[in-house]
């Protein structure tokens, strides 16, 4: 006898809690490049080279994804970036 299998529906809330979140920094004309690089090093612990790469991406492309991971930690990073007066937002990865 053949057995029918019913797919288990994935609840939306589960998707929300497990899908990763991006920390995005947006360009602004005021913050100094050296300042932005310093903040990326401080907040994320990035090397100077990696911090400069993200800084240039923000400057040239208008935004850069600095970090991807769980929401709670992403919110913490955005808070740290706002404390340093950078324009930073949180978004679902893939949005």
Partner 1 sequence: MEFFVSGKSHIGFRHIHPLIADLLRALPATTDPDALSDAAEARLFPEPTNSESLQDLRDDWKAFVEPGLHELFRSASDIVSADLKGMEESGDTFTLTIPMNHADAWLNLLNQARLVLAADLGFNEKILTSPEPPDLGTDVGMAVFRINLYAFMQQCLIEQLE
Residues at the interface with partner 1 (CB under 8 A): 28-32, 34-35, 38, 75, 78-79, 82-85, 87-92, 95
Closer residue to partner 1, CB minimum distance, 73 or 92: 92
Minimum distance, C-beta of residue 31 to partner 1, in the bound complex (Å): 7
Question: Over the Cα atoms of the chain, what is R_g?
Answer: 18
**What is the smallest separation between the CB atom of 71 and partner 1, expressed in angstroms?**
9
Nearest by Cα to 54 from 32, 45, 63: 63
If the CB atoms of residues 5 and 45 are measured against partner 1, the closer one turns out to be 45
Q: Which helix (H) or strand (E) holds 21?
A: strand 21-26
Query: Would you say 4 or 95 has its CB closer to partner 1?
Result: 95
Return phi, psi of residue 28, to 5°.
-140, 150
Lookup: tokens for 60: 């040239």
């Amino acid at each position: 006898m053949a057995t029918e299998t019913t797919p288990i529906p994935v609840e939306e809330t589960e998707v929300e809690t497990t899908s990763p979140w991006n920390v995005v920094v947006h360009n602004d004309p005021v913050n100094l490049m050296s300042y932005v690089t310093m903040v990326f090093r401080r907040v994320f612990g990035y090397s100077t080279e990696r911090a400069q790469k993200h800084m240039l991406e923000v400057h040239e492309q208008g935004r850069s994804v600095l970090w991807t991971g769980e929401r709670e930690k992403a919110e913490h990073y955005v808070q740290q970036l706002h404390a340093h007066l950078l324009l930073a937002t949180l978004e679902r990865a893939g949005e």
